[in-house]
Amino acid sequence: MTDIDDSYDPRNFDILLTDIDAEDIHKIIPRKLNVKYLSEVPNELDGNITGIMYSIYLRLFCATTIRIKNKIKMVIFLVNIGSPTTFISGEVLHSFGIEMADPVNDYIDVNINNRRVQAMMSHSHFENICIIGMSFLNANKVGFHTFYGDGIFHLNFDEEFGEKEMNLRRKKKGEELKK
């Protein structure tokens, strides 16, 4: 089990994305993922997600649905395992007609890929980027598989792994580490 530091304040989280701009989010990444950014869609996606590695820093981007109230839209997300919190950009929230009373401190309940999550509004250096953080990945038991040679990754939902499936090389009491 992972220990959670209860003193963490998500308002202090920041990420500098000098290699990503509005054109990347609105046009280039959606084209590579075969979606139209912020387009309304009839149904929520709810399966596994395949994404791409993008930019010289091999950032992990994917497209999936967000549902707020009765609207469903296709959104581009940066998957960031360094972020404990999931963030939704002000642009995306505004496209749903959402104005947060206190955008710095408030959380909003949204469905991402047909799974409920509490998210905050993106801020600071990443105000225009939606981020899937560890709270979402952990709550949904997401298996995270990267294929660097192919430039893709997969998020597999509700994966359960035991010691056998993980093929861990652990040293048992009185035994040498297997090579």
Domains annotated for the chain, with CATH where assigned, are 20-154 (2.40.70)
pTM listed for this prediction? 0.83
pLDDT band at 169 (very low <50, low <70, confident <90, very high): very low
Is the predicted pLDDT of residue 179 greater than 50, yes or no?
no
b/e 59-90 (16+ beta carbons within 10 angstroms → b)? bbbbbbbbbbeeebbbbbbbbbeebbbbbbbb
> Does 146 score more than 50 pLDDT?
yes
Q: Judge whether residue 165 has pLDDT over 80.
A: no
The helix/strand/coil state of 94 is helix
* pLDDT tens digits for range 28-43: 999 999 999 999 999 9
Mean pLDDT of 97-122: 92
In whole angstroms, what is the distance from residue 86 CA to residue 80 CA? 9
Tokens at 43, concatenated = 């149904």
**Residues of the chain with pLDDT > 70: what percent?**
80
Q: Which amino acid is at 55?
A: S
pLDDT value of position 174: 55
Is the confidence at residue 55, as pLDDT, over 50? yes
CA distances from 59 to 44, 112, 136, 178 (A): 25, 20, 18, 34
Q: What's at 158, amino acid-wise?
A: D
Tokens found for residue 30: 């959606």
Strands 59-68 and 71-79, by their bridges, are antiparallel
